[in-house]
Structure 1
Amino acid sequence: MIPQPHYEQQYLDLMRHIWTHGDERVDRTGVGTRAVFGATMRFDLANNAIPLLTTKRVYWKTATREMLWFLTGDTNIRELVKQKVHIWTDWPLDKYRRETGEDIDRDVFEQRIIDDEVFARKWGDLGPVYGKQWVDWPRYTPVDNGTGEGLYRREEQGINQIKLLIDGLKNNPGSRRHIFTGWNVAELDQMALPPCHKTYQFYVSNGKLSGCLYQRSCDLGLGFAFNVYSAALLIRMIAQQCDLEPGELVWNGGDVHLYLNHEELVEAQLERTPSGAPTLNINRKPDSVFGYDISDFEVRDYAPQSHISAPVAV
C-alpha cells in the first residue's frame, strides 16, 4: 500500500510553488508579495485530528483564545492583551502612532490598554471586525414617521449568525444555506482590517460535519497556520454542539501570497519535513458554543519543530 502524504505536505507544496512561480505584486502594505489566485487544501478531522503545522511551532492556545474572543462579539483588543495575545495590537498601535505622533513602545501601549479603560475604548477598538459580524450583524427595521420617506432604525441587538447556523444544522441538516460571513460591505471602511477568512459554509453527511472556509486573502507564511487551525477548531466545536462527528475542512484561498521580506521563513520551512499526527481533545461540552473556555481544549501528540519568526505587514 502506498503511504498517504502527510497532511502538511500540500501546504509546503503550495508554498514552494508560490515562492518559485508566483506573480510579484505590489500590495496594500507596500512590502510586496509573490502570489497565486485560487488554491484549495483538504484536511481530514476524523479521530480528533487537527491540522497544526509541524514544520514550525504554532501557538494553538493563542489561536484558540482569539476564536473564543470572536465568539463574544468583542472588537476591542483589551481582553486579548490581558491574556497576553498580541496578534491584533499592531493595527490600533499603528493608528495611535500616526494620529498622536507618539512613537510609543508596543509593550507600553498594551499596558495602557489594560490599565486605562477610557484609553482602551478610544485606542483599542478595531471597528466592527469578525466577531461583531458573526454574532451581532446589524439589523434594521422600518420606521413609519408618516412622511413615506422610508426611514430605518438600527436595532440594539443584531443578528447572531452563529446561533442561527447551529439551529439550522440541528433542525435542517440537509440545507445548503449553512453559511455565515464577516463581509459586511456597509461597514468595511470602519474595520481595522476587513475579514480575510470571510465566509464559512457547513455540510452534514452520514452524521459528520464538514466545513468549507473561503479566505479572500491569505498570508501563507504567517497567517495560514492560525487560520487553518482556527477553522478546524470551529468545526469541532460546532460538531460537538450538534452531536455530530467532525468530517473534513476544505480550505479555499483567493489571493494566496508570501511576502517578499519572508524569504528566510520560506526557505527555512521548505527545508523541513513534516511529521506527527496531533489531536485536539475537547474535555467538556458546555450548554452552547458561546460557553467554551480555554481550559476545555487539549492538544496532544504535537511535537513541532522550532518557531520561525517573521515581520507582520500591517
Structure 2
Amino acid sequence: MAQGSTQSASSGTTGQGATDISRGARFRMVLRRLSRNWFAVFGAVVAVTLVLTAIFAPVIAPYGPTEADYNSIREAPSLDHPFGTDNLGRDIFSRVVFGSRYTVFLGIVIVGIQMAIGVLLGLIAGYYGGWTESIIMRLVDISLSIPGIVLALAIAGILGGGIESLIIAVSLVGWRGFTRLVRGDVKSIMEEEYIDAAESAGVGDIRIMTRYILPNSMSSIIVYTSLTIPTVILWSAALSFLGMGVQPPRPEWGAIISIGRSQLAEQWWVSTFPGLAIMVTVIGFNALGDGLRDALDPKQE
C-alpha cells in the first residue's frame, strides 16, 4: 500500500511538473511570436505606457487637472503648456495625462463585467444545451439586433448619465460577444474525449466547466478581451462627449473633446490632443489584440 501510494504521488508530481513545463514553454513561445511582430510590440508599448501614465499621473503632469490659471486662458501650445490651455486656463497636457486614469479604470471595470456576464452565460449555454441554450442565445440575438452604441446611449439616457450610468450601459451591451465566443468554444471542447472521461468518472458539472472547459477557452477569451478594450474606450469617450458619461470638470478624454468642440477653429488644441490620445490608444490595443491572436494560434509555426 505504501509503495503504491508513493508511486501514485510520484506520478502526480511528474504529471504536474510536465504540465508546468508545457505551460512555461507555451508562454515563452507566445512571447517569442509577439516579439517578432513589430505592430504587436507597438501595441504592447502603448498599453504599458497608458498604465504607467495612469499610475504616475501626479508625477508626470505639471499642473492639477482642474487647476485654473486665469492669466493663461486659451493659450496655444508653448513650453509652459505643451498642449495649450482651455477657456478656464487649465493645462490640456495635465488633463490628458490624468484622463488616462479614467481610460484605464473604465477599461478594466467594464471589460471585467462584460467578461463575467458573457463567459458565465456562454459556459451555461454551451454545456447544458437544449432549452437553456435556446433561451440564452435568443436573448443574445435579440440584443444584437440593436446597434451596440445606440443601445448603450438609450440605457445611459434612461439612467441619467454619469460614470456609474456609463459603466452599466456599456457593460450591459458588451457581454453579447463574450457569450457567443465562449458558447462556440464550449461546443467544440465538449466533443473531446477527456470530457467524456470526466463525465464517466462522475465529475460534477461545475468542476468540468471550471477545471477542463474554461482553461481551454482562455486563449480565445484573452484575444477577444484585448480587442474589446478599444471598443470600450471609444464608447466611453463617445458617451462622455455626448454628456451621458463622465461629467466635467473630470478630465475624461471624451469630455475634454466636448468642451473644446465649440472653439475648434480658434483653439484647435483643446480637442485635438485628447482626440490623438484616444486614436493612439485604440490603434495600440487593436495591434496588441491582433498580435495576441496570431501568437496564440496553434496553426502558427
Indicate whether the TM-score tops 0.5: no
TM-score using structure 1 length: 0.22
Greater helix share, 1 or 2? 2
Greater strand share, 1 or 2? 1
